[in-house]
Amino acid sequence: MGEYNGKINVSKDSMLFVVNSVFNQGIKESTTKENILKLMPAIYENADDEEIIKMLPYRTYKDLERLIDYIKTSDDIKSFFYKREHPDIRFLEEAMIIVMRAKHLEYNYSLNPSVIEKLTRLFSDENKKIAERYGNIENLTVGMLYEYGIVDFDFLRKQLCKYMNEIITEEELRDIFFTRMNLNRFVNDYNIKWTNTNEVQYFVTYLDEEYSPIDIGEIAEEQKARKMKYKQFSKQELLKREEYLYDERAKKLYKFLKSKNDNIYEWTFKRLLKNNELGIDILGDLSNMCMFADDIELKKFMDLFTDWYNNSPQYMLGGYSPIEFRKTFK
């Protein structure tokens, strides 16, 4: 586990976020990456356990536990990380628990044993319960934002209180959204001032205003215009929710299109279906993916598409599918 030469890969902004925004160290921007790195053993030694746990995404916390066990028998750090390809693994690097260095287009992992020694305490039975609590808040938040696209902050907070069976204050939830490394990037504020009432409503969304293919405000405006309530989901439904919905109806539609055009790929297809949740008409895009031999094939496509569309949730419908919406709000 020796040190490698080369430049520290993680950005200084990420390092400063950890030392200043999470641990309130007041480190100057002019401080070099190497000097920030040297501060971490003392910072972690003196930090409150819960503050560290709150910062780490749950999968990152679990990977840290695995890493601590792994290095007891192996020092091949690179192999450990290559076996874990999910994006949250990078937060161990941004937290400066491990270090990736770049030299001549080669990347090498190392870790500071002094830091690892300070963090073994995070895995007591009590701390594991704390981590699980934050993990549930994290995953429920992600699930709700994937279901609704954009949602009233107070509604989301009250739903979390219900699912967690505890009181989560606005102040605590805002703090979690800010300090937890993945939610800090995932959860975006979105405020709307309604001209007819002069009321300001505070929303949160995972959509990026700069890159979203649709005006995010239009989704909230459509939700409000329909005078509806958000669809209710079970805790388990939200914990299992993934970004891209790909149910059996979607798979049947993909299989049919693939049979007509072998150059259609599942990942591209899933991304296109995501636009439907945003309220973007994708019928033309899907039909242009292939040529239909006759009216029978065209009808088959339209039947599959209509069945999928009517049963697929949309953000503008508050998480309901068109069929569910019509049944619920007759």
137-187 tens-digit pLDDT: 999 999 999 999 999 999 999 999 999 999 999 999 999 999 999 999 999
Over pLDDT 70: what percentage of the chain? 97
- Of residues 195 and 131, more confidence is placed in 131
pLDDT of 1 reads 43
CB proximity list for 82: less than 8 A, separation 6 or greater: none
Task: Rank 81-85, 172-176, 244-248 by mean pLDDT and report only the highest.
Answer: 172-176
Task: Rank 59-73, 75-89, 168-182 by mean pLDDT and report only the highest.
Answer: 168-182
Q: State pLDDT tens for residues 225-236.
A: 888 899 999 999
- Of residues 113 and 53, more confidence is placed in 53
Looking at residue 219, its amino acid is: I
**With contact defined as beta carbons under 8 Å apart, do 82 and 60 qualify?**
no
pLDDT at 4 over 70: no
pLDDT at 103 over 80: no
pLDDT at 221 over 80: yes
- The total of other beta-carbon atoms located within 10 Å of residue 183's CB is 21
The residue ranges of every structural domain in the chain are 7-123, 129-240, 248-312
What DSSP state is assigned to residue 20?
I
- The total of other beta-carbon atoms located within 10 Å of residue 198's CB is 7
Where do the H-state alpha helices sit in the chain?
Answer: 12-16, 33-46, 49-55, 58-70, 77-82, 90-94, 113-119, 125-148, 153-164, 170-179, 181-186, 216-225, 235-240, 248-260, 266-277, 283-287, 295-310, 322-328
Please report, in angstroms and rounded to a whole number, the separation of the first and last CA atoms in the chain: 65
Residue recorded with tokens 């020092």 = 75
pLDDT of 85 reads 61
Closest CA to 60 of 32, 94, 36: 94
pLDDT of 84 reads 64
Q: How far apart are CA 278 and CA 281, in angstroms?
A: 9
> In CATH, which of 2.40.160, 2.115.10, 3.40.50, 1.10.10 is domain 129-240?
1.10.10
What DSSP state is assigned to residue 315?
G
- The total of other beta-carbon atoms located within 10 Å of residue 4's CB is 14
pLDDT of 211 reads 72
Q: How far out from the chain centre does Cα 61 lie?
A: 15
pLDDT of 94 reads 93
Work out the average pLDDT over 49-73: 94
- From the number of C-beta atoms within 10 Å of its C-beta (0-12, 13-18, 19+), residue 73 rates as exposed
pLDDT at 55 over 90: yes
- Of residues 86 and 199, more confidence is placed in 199
Q: How far apart are CA 138 and CA 115, in angstroms?
A: 25
- From the number of C-beta atoms within 10 Å of its C-beta (0-12, 13-18, 19+), residue 281 rates as exposed
What DSSP state is assigned to residue 66?
H
Angle, helix 153-164 to helix 170-179, in steps of 10 degrees: 100
Q: How far apart are CA 99 and CA 4, in angstroms?
A: 9
Q: State pLDDT tens for residues 277-327.
A: 998 999 999 999 888 889 999 999 999 999 999 999 999 999 999 999 999
pLDDT at 2 over 50: no
Q: For residue 110, give the H/E element and its range.
A: strand 106-111
**With contact defined as beta carbons under 8 Å apart, do 257 and 245 qualify?**
no
Q: How far apart are CA 224 and CA 175, in angstroms?
A: 28
Work out the average pLDDT over 87-103: 85
> Per-residue confidence at 126, pLDDT binned at 50, 70, 90?
very high
Closest CA to 108 of 236, 210, 244, 7: 7
- Of residues 83 and 220, more confidence is placed in 220
Work out the average pLDDT over 25-44: 95
